[in-house]
């Protein structure tokens, strides 16, 4: 039996769309998913950088974002990515009895979806890292913590590449 193909999971807000980045290459753009205006700060070099990472590692790129499939319409073409599968993270993340953070909620659904498959996850929420640690039956994984003000850097991608090379 062949080993499971690893996953490269990518968040949008805070990772590809930082709060504000002074790094070269970012371009501000307005998009209107569901008729609501969102200002995105995107770098078109990220798509080729992530695509190369996935190709070299034999991995699959997947959205792990509340943007879900909307990332294929509003983000992917602006950063140079093809349409990708997405982790089905429910929009409603907190009930009256659920006191988990947004990152914990997302991590729980990422863990359930990824299961035993190895994955690297570019994520800006620190709660996601601690939440994954407690998930039973989770495959090997690395969460690359991205500063939500700066966004994804080549150093983050290199960290992921090194980890994927060791699988």
CATH number at residue 71: 3.40.50.1000
User: What's residue 70's pLDDT?
Assistant: 95
Q: What is the pLDDT, as a whole number, of residue 100?
A: 64
Provide the 8-state DSSP code for 97: S
pLDDT digit string, tens, across residues 98-120 = 556 777 888 989 999 999 999 99
Question: Residue 2 domain-assigned?
Answer: no
Supply the pLDDT for residue 126. Answer: 85
Does a structural domain hold residue 28? yes
**Predicted local distance difference test score (pLDDT) of residue 11:** 97
pLDDT tens for 49-98 read 999 999 999 999 999 999 999 999 999 999 999 999 999 998 765 555 55
How high is the pLDDT of residue 158?
Answer: 98
Whether the predicted pLDDT of 134 surpasses 60: yes
pTM of this prediction? 0.92
The 10 Å CB-count burial string (b at 16+, else e) for 117-137 is bbbbbbbbbebbbebbeebee
The count of structural domains within the chain is 1
In a domain, 112, yes or no: yes
In which band, very low, low, confident or very high, does the pLDDT at 133 lie, cut at 50, 70 and 90? confident
Domain housing 148:
7-92+99-165
* Arithmetic mean of pLDDT over the chain: 91
**CA-based radius of gyration for the chain:** 15
Q: How many residues does the chain have?
A: 167
pLDDT at 7: 98
CA–CA separation, 151 vs 157, rounded Å?
A: 11
* Domain assignment present for 130: yes
């Amino acid at each position: 039996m062949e080993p499971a193909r690893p996953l490269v999971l990518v968040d949008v807000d805070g990772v590809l769309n930082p709060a504000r980045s002074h790094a070269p290459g970012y371009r501000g753009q307005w998009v209107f998913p569901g008729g609501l205006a969102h200002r995105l700060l995107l770098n078109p070099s990220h798509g080729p950088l992530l695509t190369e990472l996935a190709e070299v590692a034999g991995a699959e790129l997947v959205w792990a974002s509340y943007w879900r499939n909307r990332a294929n319409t509003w983000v992917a073409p602006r950063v140079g990515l093809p349409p990708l599968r997405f982790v089905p993270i429910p929009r409603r993340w907190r009930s009256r009895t659920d006191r988990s953070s947004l990152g914990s909620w997302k991590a729980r659904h990422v863990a359930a979806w990824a299961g035993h498959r190895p994955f690297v996850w570019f994520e800006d929420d620190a709660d996601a890292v601690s939440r994954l640690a407690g998930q039973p039956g989770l495959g090997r994984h690395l969460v690359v913590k991205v500063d939500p003000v700066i966004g994804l850097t080549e150093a983050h991608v290199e960290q992921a590449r090194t980890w994927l090379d060791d699988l």
